[in-house]
Structure 1
Amino acid sequence: MHDDLSLAYANADFIPDAGSFPPRWAAEAGAFRAALGDRARLGVAYGPAPRQTFDLFLPEGAVAGLMVFVHGGYWMAFDPSVWSHLAAGALARDWAVAMPGYTLAPEGRIHQMTDEVEAAIGAAAAIVDGPIVVTGHSAGGHLSARMACTDRRADWGDRLARVVPISPLADLNPLRQTGMNAKLALDAAEAERESPALLAKRGDVDCTVWVGGQERPSFLWQARTLSEAWACPWHVAPGRHHFDVIDELADPESLLIQTLLD
């Protein structure tokens, strides 16, 4: 009998006033979109399914490249509209920002989400020229890391310069021992084929793994495991927990934005 690891992956239980974060994110995202006006292209379809859309935010001047942010929610929650404000840092540096949606579990399987994110980036890359950098948070950190694995063969892959997975799920096997797997339906084969830490990274793609210093030990382990497997740097952001580790994306001068875009 395997131990139940549900508590090890429960973030909100260990963050003070955790319930206040999603409404605040949504409010900040809505205000950001309203201020951006016609530089926000919302709900651009990349496929026929309801969640196969992405939001694209364009800078005022010439575009330096495309940054992609893949949202988290344990592959079961949220959509791009909650995170729009996190495009602010890259936009101020003249990068366009795409935020893809994807089909959530239990309707979607994780390997299908990987394919969807790749397709969404391809659709955004057809609109925006220049280099591509991909980041994402938690489950989105997993999906961003998958874009750099050698088994992916995207048409846009030669433009991919860097991935910065934030608090990623890099080895999916422990999640099979959580209550979430009732919806995720991860089996041994899918965990093996979808775990970035068990796959090779493309040699031509730079990677830095990012994680908060106050995150659950399981997330620190996940981040360190990926950095060791891929022989790449990892950065532990002092004082940051799982819900505020992404805040630096809104600041064009932050170390996280510098790591992504410089």
Structure 2
Amino acid sequence: MSAGIDYEAEYNNRARVPEHPALIAGWARDAAAYRERTAPRSMSYGPGARHTIDFFPGGHDGPIVVFIHGGYWQALDGSFFSHLAAGLNAHGIGVAIPGYDLCPNVTIDDIIRQMRTMTRALARPGKSLVISGHSAGGHLAACMLATDWPAFDASLPPDLVSAAYCISGLFDLAPLVETSINNALHLDPTTARAASPLFWPAPLHGRLDAVVGENESAEYFRQSRTIVERWGRAGITTRFGTVPDANHFTAIAPLADPRSPMVLRLTELAGR
């Protein structure tokens, strides 16, 4: 970390975007409307009430893109984001939106393990997955790309996850330790580093895209640029980008638009 940076100001997105309550209410409204038009198939990947996946089918036996929601590992659930399946569904791509337990009831390590179990539940012979995610979900998407899948489960292929598409992700959790965000996370410098994919062995295969809203804080830009540079040097294909005129909450909006550059990039990563 660097002296002189106000990490509370850099990472407190709700304070940075005063209109966030209306934006989150808009998510809930649009998500409910999409579920009415396109009812998802509910899947369970574990014993807990939040261990579920809302699956919005695409074409028969076609590719699947996962979207992992944000909320700093301590808020929201997948039901706020159903409408974000619309863009990819229009291209015949299935979208899986999982839930997970929240801090402080569990740790971030617990959530990483839950997302690994979720990813295993979606595994299909001969098919890889693209994992996307926003904010904390971007962190979890990167964790899935960097997971040694045969070590997690000997029956899984090493390339189970072929790409991660991280929207405003967090890859170095150390700056959160001294912020109010940590009131629920209970991180210390050791556990923050252990849960930071930036410091894990880089993936041996696959692709990483990391994009950031154009109007987000300098720290969010640093986070994404750093993992793109570090994992790129390690040998995988990486790409950094920005979402034009977007803040932390509006950066995911293009997922609902079949013609957006974000959706078109995800269709490319998914092999369509």
TM-score using structure 2 length: 0.88
Runs (5+) with no aligned partner, structure 1: none
Counterpart-to-counterpart distance in 1, 2:146 and 2:212: 20
Partner in structure 2 of residue 99 of structure 1: 97
1:210-225 equivalences under 5 Å are: 210-225=211-226
Q: What amino acid sits opposite 2:249 in the alignment?
A: F
Q: Which moved further from structure 2: 104-113 or 154-163?
A: 154-163
* Aligned-partner SS, 1:234: strand
Find 1:257's aligned residue among 240, 260, 263.
Answer: 263
8 Å contact 1:57–1:96 — kept in the other structure? Answer: yes
What is the distance in 2 between the residues matched to 1:130 and 1:58? 15
For residue 193 of structure 1, what is the aligned residue in structure 2? 194
Among candidates 7, 10, 13, match of residue 5 of structure 1: 7
Deviation per residue, 1:134-170 (Å, 9 max, x gap):
0000000000000111545452642321111110011
Q: From the superposition, tell whether residues 156 and 178 of structure 1 become closer, same or farther in structure 2 (CA, over 3 Å).
A: farther
Report the Cα distance in structure 1 between the residues aligned to 2:8 and 2:18, rounded to whole angstroms: 19
Aligned to 2:137: 140
Once the two structures are overlaid, the 10-residue window that deviates more, 74-83 or 12-21, is 12-21
Post-superposition shift, 1:63? 3.5
Q: Is the contact between residue 9 and residue 16 of structure 2 (CA under 8 Å) also seen in structure 1? A: no
The residue identity in structure 2 corresponding to 1:45 is: S
Cα distance in 2 for residues equivalent to 1:219 and 1:180? 15
**Secondary structure at 1:49 match in 2:** coil
Q: Contact 2:132–2:141 at 8 Å: present in 1 too?
A: yes
| AA of the residue aligned to 1:114 | I
Alignment identity in percent? 36
* Paired residues for 1:1-262 under 5 Å: 5-37=7-39, 40-42=40-42, 44-59=43-58, 61-126=59-124, 130-152=127-149, 153-154=151-152, 155=156, 157-231=158-232, 232-262=238-268
Equivalence for 2:235 = none
Q: TM-score, normalised on structure 1?
A: 0.91
1: CA distance between counterparts of 2:83 and 2:127? 22
Gaps of 5+ in 2: 233-237
Shift of the alpha carbon at 1:200?
2.7
In 1, distance between residues paired with 2:158 and 2:81? 25
d(CA) in 1 for partners of 2:216, 2:121: 34
Q: Encode CA deviations 1:193-214: one digit per residue, 9 max, x unaligned.
A: 2112112332311111111111
Counterpart residue type for residue 56 of structure 1:
F
Q: Could you tell me whether the CA contact under 8 Å between 2:213 and 2:246 is conserved in 1?
A: yes
Q: 1:73 to 1:217 in 2, by over 3 A?
A: same
Give the distance between the partners of 1:56 and 1:208, measured in 2 at CA.
Answer: 23
Cα distance in 2 for residues equivalent to 1:22 and 1:79: 12
Change (3 A) 1:250 1:157: farther
d(CA) in 2 for partners of 1:89, 1:133: 15
Post-superposition offset of 1:249: 0.9
Distance 2:70 2:181 in 1: 14
Alignment RMSD: 1.9
